[in-house]
Structure 1
Amino acid sequence: MKTTTFAAAMVAAGVLLAGCAGADNGSTTPPPTTPTSAAADHNAADIAFAQGMIPHHEQAVEMAALVEGRTTTPEVLSLAERVEQAQAPEIRTMTQWLAAWGAPTAAGGHEGHGPGMMSAEDMTRLEDAKNADFDRRWLEMMIEHHEGAVEMARTELAEGGNAEAKALAQQIIDAQQAEITEMHALLDS
């Protein structure tokens, strides 16, 4: 009887060990039940970062779209194109994170959503401007807008828990600080 119990225990242990070994077999594909790294290890600061940065980026993309037809300054046109190319994919990424985290995306509308956001009146004045007046207004507003994004990204670095969100925050700081420097130089020229 003891031999039968011992043998059964060894078989059960073997099955258990085989299952454990299969869970970590060196495969780079995670098991279907394993959450992605974006879904894992996030906190309220990560959610707030994504929810706040989405409308912030949406307004920057909207401001970038206003450049066409309002200025012929090559540097402003180039900068607007780069803003749009960088921030539109970041919006998609943050929207995907929020879905993975089971959190709602940011509410519609731009006013009052974080530092550096332009009011509806600011946007109307920008839409009505042309040429050198447009360039000056657009650069000043985009500097303020970028400074707000940098502030939000620094908060994410300090308080966030998700590695991917923090990496995006650092990327935002690096890119937008460089663009702020570029915009100040354009204003000074």
Structure 2
Amino acid sequence: MAAAEGGERVYCTNPLAFGAPLPEPLPPLVIDHATSATAFITLAEAAKAQSPIAHGMAIDETGAITTDPVKAMLGALLPFGGYKGGNIALIVEMLAAGLSGAAWSLDASHFLSGEHPVNAGMTVIALFPAAVDSDFPERAKAQLERLCSKGVRIPGNRAKSASVVETDNLDVDIGVLETIRRLCLR
């Protein structure tokens, strides 16, 4: 990902993810998105379908804005939200590569054609909201319902109301789950 139009690739499309508990039987609120204006897979799908991408999502090899997904794949994605999105990409880079000891984006192998493993990293920061506010899940649900009633799109919420959310089950290794539970109790 380039930091701006005309720039060279300096960041990966490192995702920023967040989760917060909601009361049972609701699933947690989960937000997971790339720091780029779109995901790389969107470029690949648009190239396959031979359809243009939105203006401002990517640049070609010369650094010029392009709506051609093939040219974009040879160039670079742009951050969402202009330089402010670029700043968030920098924060994620500091957390994902800096704290984990993984390769900086400038040093990482290309994930499609690199000769070496990408050496990507991540940092997970886990908080236990109930330690500060035992009513957090209920308060969060009420806030999401208020936002939804004002037309705000709630990530993961395909329904009209935050109180009605369809979910898929996720299989988690029991050993990993027990480790997470043990760490949360510390």
TM class by shorter chain equals under 0.3
Answer 1 or 2: which has greater helix percent.
Answer: 1
TM-score, normalising length: structure 1: 0.22
Structure showing greater Rg: 1
Answer 1 or 2: which has greater strand percent.
Answer: 2
TM-score, normalising length: structure 2: 0.23
